[in-house]
Structures are given as structure tokens and as C-alpha cells.
């Protein structure tokens, strides 16, 4: 699954945001996401599974808890994709800005 397909879901994006702050237990993640999105614990577990299987997160047992952490490699894929497309749009937006300024100068005359 493409990284942007995984992050296309707002719940998964929020989980990634939370994991970017620090490692968290499944219980912490469930508590936050359930409060914010009104979804059930099994639904949160399914989203966490998608993040694990797609390489965005890893989990490790710690006693009776599961600790989730963000996987940097997969987030780097998203960063690379954004940077490639940002270069494309930056040039065009710079050109648009130039044209807007030219138009303003003409109006001021």
C-alpha cells in the first residue's frame, strides 16, 4: 500500500502524529483517538494493525502492554514524495507570484 494511501485516513494520520511525539502504549493511543474520533477500541486496533503492516509503526511487548513507536523509514518515503512535488509547485507558485506583482504594478500606474 502506498504511504499516502495509509495516511489518507484521518485516524491513521492522528496516530502517526501522536507517535511522532513519543512512543505510546496501545491504551494511550486508544484513549486519545477514541475521544477525538468517537471510534471503538477494536477500530483503533485495526488502524494500528494497518500502520504496523504498512511499516509506519512497530510495537513491542512490555509486560502486559504493547508499546508503539514510529518507523522513520516509511515517514521518509512520504517526505521524499512531498519534496519531489514541492519542487514542481514551488516553481509554478513563484511564477504566479511574479505575474500577480506585475499586475499590481500595472494597476498602480
pLDDT (tens digit per residue) in 27-48: 999 999 999 999 999 999 999 9
pLDDT of residue 106: 73
Q: Would you list the domain boundaries of the chain?
A: 3-108
What letter does residue 55 receive in the DSSP assignment? T
Can you give the pLDDT at residue 60? 96
Q: Which residues pair with 70 in a beta bridge?
A: 57
pLDDT, position 89: 78
Higher pLDDT, 98 or 10: 10
Question: Which class for 33: exposed (0-12), middle (13-18), buried (19 or more C-beta within 10 A)?
Answer: buried
Q: If we measure between CA atoms, which residue out of 30, 28, 48 comes closest to residue 39?
A: 30
36-92 confidence digits (pLDDT tens): 999 999 999 999 999 999 999 999 999 999 999 999 888 888 888 888 878 777 777
CATH code: domain 3-108 is: 1.10.10.10
Amino acid at each position: 500500500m502506498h504511504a499516502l494511501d495509509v495516511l489518507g485516513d484521518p485516524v491513521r494520520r492522528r496516530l502517526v502524529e501522536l507517535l511522532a511525539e513519543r512512543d505510546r502504549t496501545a491504551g494511550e493511543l486508544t484513549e486519545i483517538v477514541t475521544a477525538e474520533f468517537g471510534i471503538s477500541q477494536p477500530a483503533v486496533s485495526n488502524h494500528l494493525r494497518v500502520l504496523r503492516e504498512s511499516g509506519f509503526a512497530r510495537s513491542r511487548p512490555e509486560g502486559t502492554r504493547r508499546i508503539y513507536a514510529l518507523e522513520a523509514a516509511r515517514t521518509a518515503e512520504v517526505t521524499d514524495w512531498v519534496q519531489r512535488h514541492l519542487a514542481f509547485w514551488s516553481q509554478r507558485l513563484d511564477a504566479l507570484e511574479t505575474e500577480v506583482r506585475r499586475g499590481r504594478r500595472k494597476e498602480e500606474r
